[in-house]
Amino acid sequence: MSHSASFISIPDLPTPHFLRCVHLAVSLNAAYVPPHHTSAALYIRPLIFGSSAQLGLNPPEEYTFCVYVIPTGVYHGTHPVDALILESFDRAAPEGTGSAKVGGNYAPVLRWSEMARKEGYGITLHLDSKTRTLIDEFSTSGFIGIKKDAEGKYTVVVPDSKSVIKSITSDSCVQLSKSFGWSIETRPVRPPPSLLAS
């Protein structure tokens, strides 16, 4: 949240205050934490926004910070999900706010996500906006590829893009992969040409 906030001129929230708010939200909603055997979880969403009564293109003088929690199942289940590669829509400008988790990065994707669902796809995959030849990320999550070589060794591949949201989930997956002794590659990732319409 700190990266995204600083990207749009929101002052950094002190870590002790952030953690206290998260702990309070979880403890006050402990009754809604799903049982472990269900594979469900308590989703935690911290949010900060400018709430000053003002017009004009200036940073707000007042901000509101809140923490939402909601019980949730596995977002796409534990099965493969077909993805529609969006070749004619740009999720984020090359030098824009793509790496920040801000509202403006999500709303424009809704129309395309609905179109993908109607065509039988569970998710959309975004390409880089500059060349439309490299994988950036999915509409709801980061892209992480896993390769297994002939010797049974695993390599985790993460796109190297300034337009990808800085993700604690992706970072956690990379750290877990390292703990397994897997190799990590952060590099441009090209989708197979056979998957592209153009």
User: Residue 166, exposed/middle/buried by CB under 10 A (0-12, 13-18, 19+)?
Assistant: middle
**CA pair distance 73, 62, nearest whole angstrom:** 35
**CA pair distance 119, 56, nearest whole angstrom:** 41
The candidate with the shortest Cα–Cα distance to 84, out of 107, 103, 111, is: 111
Q: Which helix (H) or strand (E) holds 9?
A: none
**CA pair distance 137, 147, nearest whole angstrom:** 17
Q: What does the block give as tokens for 26?
A: 């979880």
Q: Which of 101, 147, 166, 178 is catalytic?
A: 101
**101 catalytic residue (yes or no):** yes
Helices (H), the chain: 2-7, 15-28, 110-118, 168-179
Helix, strand, or coil (residue 64): strand
Catalytic residues: 101
